[in-house]
Amino acid sequence: MAYFMGIDAGTSGIKSAVIDEEGTVLAIGYEECDIITPRPGWVEQNPKDWWKVCNRAVKQAVEKSGVGEEIQGIGFSGQMQGCVLMGKDGEAIGNCLIWLDQRSTAQVKQIEELMSEEEMLSITGSTCLNSYLAPKLLWLKENRAEDFEKADSVIFPKDYLRYCMTGEIATEVSDASLSFLLDVPKRKWSDTIAKKLGIPEYLLPERLLESQDTAGYLRESVAREWGIKPGIPVVAGGGDQPAGGIGMGIVEEGIIGSTIGTSGVIFGCTDRPFEDRQKRAVMSMCHAVPDKWCFLGLALASGGSFKWLRDTLFADKKVEMAAKGLDVYDYMTGLAGGAAPGSEGLTFLPYFNGDKTPINDENARAVFFGLSYRHGLEAICRSVMEGVTFSLRDTIEICREKEMQVTEVRAAGGGAKSALWRQIQADIYHARVVTTNMEESGCAAGAIMAAVGTGHFKDIKEGCGAILRVQNITEPIAENVKIYDEYYETYRNLYPALKESYGRQAEIVAKYF
C-alpha cells in the first residue's frame, strides 16, 4: 500500500492528512491560524506562524497514522493571492497581505490607467482586483519601500511552507494565475505586464511549475522532526480552489463545485481560458491539471459569516458544548432546521469585509434585512446559511448566462458537512448536490498531486478515479426551489439599493479610524 500526505494551508487553519492509494484517510491533524487586522480593510498573517502551525498539524497526522516512514510524497492546497516577500537571507519580510486584504484599491485604478480592458482580458483572462498580487506589490512599493527593496522574490502562502520543507523557491501556475502577472493562456509570466507596472521581473520565481511537478525534496532536519523519510518528493501543489477542484473530481467540463469554507467559491473546469467581460470579478485561471483551465466566483465571507455568528450570539454555547465534546455548529444548524425556507423574509447579505463576485465592492458590509419580532435564533441561523448560498448562486447564474449546464454541483467545506446546508444549496441552486468520500478536498488534492508527481498514478484523472467516490446525493425540492427563487430576487435587489450608502458609510468610517 502506498501512502501520501496532503497539506491544506487555509486562512483559518492548516490541515494535514495521510491518505492511502485507495482513498482511505488514515489520520488528520489540524491547527488554527490567526489573522491580523491593523486597520479596517487590512488583513494580514505572519508566515512564520504558518510554519509553526503546519509543524503541529503534520506531527499530529503522522503520529496518528502510524505510517510516517512509508509516506512517499507530499502535496499542497493553499490559500491564494497572499503576498509573501522573501529576502536574500531566505527569511520572509514582514507579514503577508492575504487574499482578504482590501488596501490596494488605488493601485488597481493605476493598473486600469496603464492597461486597456482588452489587454487585461487577453493576457490574464480577468480584469484586475485589489486582492491580486500585482496591486499588493505596487502598494508595498509605494508604502513600504524599504521592505520592497529588500525582497529577492515573492511567493504565495503554500510556497512559503514548501520552501521551509525543501529550501527551494518555486511557485506554480494555478496560484500565479491570480497574480495579474501571468499570461494565463500561455501558462507563463507576462513580461508585458511586469514592465508596464514597473514590477521587477527578478521578484517572480524563475521556477514556475505545473501543480503535480516536483518542486523539491524533504529536508533531513524537517523529516526527522516529523517522523517521515528524508528526501521524499514535495510537489508544487495548487492554489486552494484549483486544488479543491481536483479534490472534488472537477477535472473536466460539466461539473461545478461549491465550497463553503472561510470564503465561498463556485468553481468550474474548462478546456480553454474562461472570460467574463462584465467586470463581475469572475476569476479565470490555469487549473492545477495540466492543459486545463478553470474559473471561480468568490464570496469573501461564507463560512466566515457562520463563524461570526458562532463567536457572537453563540459564544457561551460554544464553550458549553466544547466541554461536552460537542460541536456548536451542529447546534446552530439544528436551530436553523426549525425555521421555514426563506426564514420568513429575513434576508442576510454576507459582506463582512466587502465582497467579490459579482459586486466587487470593498465597501459593502453585512446586513440583516426584514428582521421582525417574529424572528428568533432559528431564523437568524437559517438566514445566514441562505444568504451565503444566495451569494454563491450569483456565480452559477453567470455560468447559465454563458449557456453552461449546471445540473450537478459537488459540495465541499463546511457547507457539505451539514445535510441541511446541502439541501439549502440544492434548492437555491436548483441542481443536484453531490458529496464524495473526501470531506477534506484540499488534503485529498494534495495527496493526489503527490501520487501523480511520484509516478504512482499516470495523471490527475486516474488519481481522482482511484481515490474519490460519490457518497451523498441531495436532490432539490420543487416547492423550496419556487420559494427561494422569489427570495433570491429580493437578495439581488438589496445591493444596488445600498451601494451608494455603502460608499458614504466607508468615507465616514475612514474619518475616524
User: Whole-prediction pTM value?
Assistant: 0.85
Q: What is the pLDDT of residue 40?
A: 86
> To which residue does cell 437555491 refer?
428
Q: Indicate the pLDDT class of residue 123, thresholds 50, 70 and 90.
A: very high
- Report the distance separating Cα 195 and Cα 197, nearest Å: 5
Q: What is the pLDDT of residue 404?
A: 87
CB 79 within 8 A of CB 160: no
Instruction: Tell me whether domains 3-248+439-472 and 302-437+477-508 share a fold.
Output: yes
Q: Domain spans of the chain?
A: 3-248+439-472, 302-437+477-508
For residue 194, the number of C-alpha atoms closer than 13 Å in the C-beta half-sphere is 15
Rounded to the nearest angstrom, the gap between the alpha carbon of residue 219 and the centroid of all alpha carbons in its chain is 28
Q: How many CB atoms lie within 10 A of CB 392?
A: 25
Q: Indicate the pLDDT class of residue 262, thresholds 50, 70 and 90.
A: confident
Q: What is the per-residue pLDDT across 310-364, written as a single tens digit (0 to 9) for each?
A: 999 999 999 999 999 999 999 999 999 999 999 999 999 999 999 999 999 999 9
- In the chain, % helix, strand, coil (3-state, to 5) comes to 45, 20, 35
Q: Strand ranges (DSSP E) for 21-129?
A: 25-32, 44-45, 71-78, 84-87, 96-97
Q: Indicate the pLDDT class of residue 251, thresholds 50, 70 and 90.
A: very high
Percent of the chain with pLDDT over 70: 100
pLDDT exceeds 90 at position 182: yes
Q: What is the pLDDT of residue 403?
A: 87
Angle at 243 between CA 240 and CA 244, to 5 degrees: 75
Q: What is the pLDDT of residue 413?
A: 83
The whole-number average pLDDT for the span 198-208 is 97
- Report the distance separating Cα 29 and Cα 55, nearest Å: 10
In the CATH scheme, what architecture does the domain 302-437+477-508 have? 2-Layer Sandwich (3.30)
Record the cell numbers describing residue 462, joined without a space: 486516474
The whole-number average pLDDT for the span 434-439 is 92
439 three-class SS: coil
Q: Indicate the pLDDT class of residue 513, thresholds 50, 70 and 90.
A: confident
Q: What is the per-residue pLDDT across 299-323, written as a single tens digit (0 to 9) for each?
A: 999 999 999 999 999 999 999 999 9
Record the cell numbers describing residue 433, joined without a space: 448536490
- What's the chain's average pLDDT? 96
User: Which positions ≥6 away from 503 have C-beta within 8 Å?
Assistant: 363
- Report the distance separating Cα 413 and Cα 441, nearest Å: 8
pLDDT exceeds 90 at position 59: yes
The whole-number average pLDDT for the span 371-379 is 98
Torsion (CA) 167, 172, 175, 179 in degrees, nearest 10: 100
The whole-number average pLDDT for the span 5-11 is 96
- Report the distance separating Cα 149 and Cα 428, nearest Å: 49
- Report the distance separating Cα 214 and Cα 229, nearest Å: 16
- Report the distance separating Cα 136 and Cα 180, nearest Å: 10
87 three-class SS: strand
The whole-number average pLDDT for the span 274-289 is 91
Backbone angles phi, psi at 65, to 5 degrees: -70, -35
Residue from 97, 211, 213, 217 nearest 156 by CA: 97
Record the cell numbers describing residue 375, joined without a space: 424572528
pLDDT exceeds 90 at position 387: yes
Q: What is the per-residue pLDDT across 60-104, written as a single tens digit (0 to 9) for each?
A: 999 999 999 999 999 999 999 999 999 999 999 999 999 999 999
CATH assignment of 3-248+439-472? 3.30.420.40
